[in-house]
Structure 1
Amino acid sequence: MSSSSMLRRRIGWGASSLMAAVAMVGWGTAAASVPQSYVALQVPAPAGGFVVGTSTEVHASVLGTGMPFLPNMQVTFTDNGTCFDSMYPLNVDESDVRATWTPTTPGIHTLTVTQGGGSATQTVTVAAAPAGTKVPTPSTPGCGGSGSAGSGSFGS
């Protein structure tokens, strides 16, 4: 192979690599800001209403990526500002991510889901647990930054 052929091939590889890098940076920039209106939250009341110690599944509609673990795509659920779960959606389009929330104190709770620059909130009132009920200790699974992979697709 001649040196000019090798030079052209190396230039071609370099150009291809540069184009791929530019495309990834552009894609990452486009995904950096999730529109406020795209993030939605539903907190359905369990049978008997919201009561300390009674779990419910919190649903959020968020933007999926198809590429997990992009920091700006992490979905975080909080209760009065304290994280109770976080994950990365794996679907390419809209994703329905779910987290289990168990209130540990009575009163007003503002639940928030955040992804990138978007967030949605819902406020609920939690009743005290009946006398003699064991109240769970609060936990923060997946809130240390690594999270767990979200699953499911919207509407499933």
Structure 2
Amino acid sequence: MRVWACGLLAAMGFSCLAMAHGQARAGATGNYVDAIDYPSPEGGWDRFFDLEASLAGGFDSVCGDTFCEGDYSNLRPLSYRCSVERTSGIIGECVWTFAGSYQDIDPDNGKVKVDARLWQCRTPINPGTHIEQLYSALEPIGPHDVLHKLLPGGNKSIYDGLTECL
């Protein structure tokens, strides 16, 4: 999935440098880490990427009837990321990045005209939410339901965050 996302970004004229694992984290000593690095370096790798895959499956199951009906009908999730306070496990924020494009053919010269766009959708996480609470709330359910499940301690879902963004 990472290679596909990087290829899509490159085709859209964006850099893939930050997508390489560890590159953005090299030498990081601040208060926050990527969720895949909580509770230890790469300690959350499997759980977080399983969550990301579940979210992508959920998006695919609702896309055609919702977000993908407009100009950007080929909307694709690229990456889901959460920052986590390194000592407490409290989530700083989660952002889901999407790319979409619209293509049209110029009938006079045969050129393909592309209108490409990126979206950075913040998940409406309640302050003080621990990463384990997010996993517990979203892991045991199916891909379609994962988007509609209420986030811990609140009355919003990831789907609600997407409707405010896309």
Q: TM-score w.r.t. structure 1 length?
A: 0.28
Q: For the pair shown, which has the larger CA radius of gyration, 1 or 2?
A: 1
Q: Which has the higher contact order (CA 8 A, sep 6+)?
A: 1
Q: TM-score w.r.t. structure 2 length?
A: 0.27
In terms of fraction of residues, the more helix-rich structure is 2
